[in-house]
Amino acid sequence: MKFRITLLFVVASLTGNAQYFVDIFSFNRQAYNIPSGAQTSDLFVNAFVPKVLKNGNSIFVRAGYEKLALKKDTFSAQYSSFTLPVGMQVQMKNPKVKFSGLIVPRIAAADLGASFSDIFQIGVFSLFTVTESDKFRYKFGLYYNRDFFGNFFVPLVGIDWKASERFSLYGTLPNSLKASYALVPSRLNAGLAFRSLTRSFRGEDLNTFVRYNEMQFKTFFDFYVSQKNVVFIEGGYFLGKTPLLYNNSDTKNHLPSQLLKEGKAFPLINAGWALRF
């Protein structure tokens, strides 16, 4: 029971998505055609391991892997990343307040075997969670990452609100927000979701990098195969900037590319599985 209670409050994602459940393990794949005409696949695999300490605080590790693949005619490209956030959650003097902090090392590149200094990034994530009741808590904090395009700061603010037995609203902006309704309690949830995530990968040429300003608005369905096994599917529109290629010496103007071009909104689909507590 102590493990279960701790999971409900521990930060489950470096993007600040600390809702009323935690995905201990998950994988999903996004598929879409970007405006250049390139068929795009984005695979994510995540694992989360918490450890409760005797004083009631906790430490945790979250491993994440992403593989972004693009293909058009004879042109193709792949970019991968591996992230290993390590953090701790501390109970403050005020029993309503918990603080979560993480160090976020990351390697991201077309070739993860390239020189470590060329593909390494480091970030810091901090989040205060204030619990007003069993059904409502709010959050605020800051995320920083030393991206290939420079220093990237993101102020965070969010809520977790269980408005009724069927409806809940949770997330941390500007990264994510979900409105979920239990169509069939304990079996099927549906709702609307917003997702925004900016990241960068070192290019095939180490003098270049890819910046990816992902922004999505979509509907989702969560199917509970069992109490902890969840299959999910999402569909909607990509509203942000597609992956674009830049030179290290010019982070403002993107380079011409057969695969990586700017374009308008386009449809996407995402599906996956999670072990959820």
Summarised one tens digit per residue, pLDDT across range 129-185 is 999 999 999 999 999 999 999 999 999 999 999 999 999 999 999 999 999 999 999
Three-state secondary-structure class, residue 265: coil
What token pair was written down for 28?
């999903």
- As given in the structure block, the two tokens for residue 86 are 């390590």
Query: For the domain 2-276, what is the CATH code?
Result: 2.40.160
Residue 5 has pLDDT above 50, yes or no: no
pLDDT in tens, 229-238: 999 999 999 9
d(CA 249, CA 256): 15
| Domain range summary for the chain, segments of one domain joined by + | 2-276
Residue 238: what residue type?
F
**Whole-model pTM over 0.85:** yes
Per-residue pLDDT band for 20 (boundaries 50, 70, 90) equals low
Nearest CA to 222 out of 42, 45, 21, 7 is that of: 21
Pairing between β-strand 97-109 and β-strand 136-147 as defined by DSSP bridges? unpaired
- Distance from C-alpha of 254 to C-alpha of 231, rounded to nearest angstrom: 37
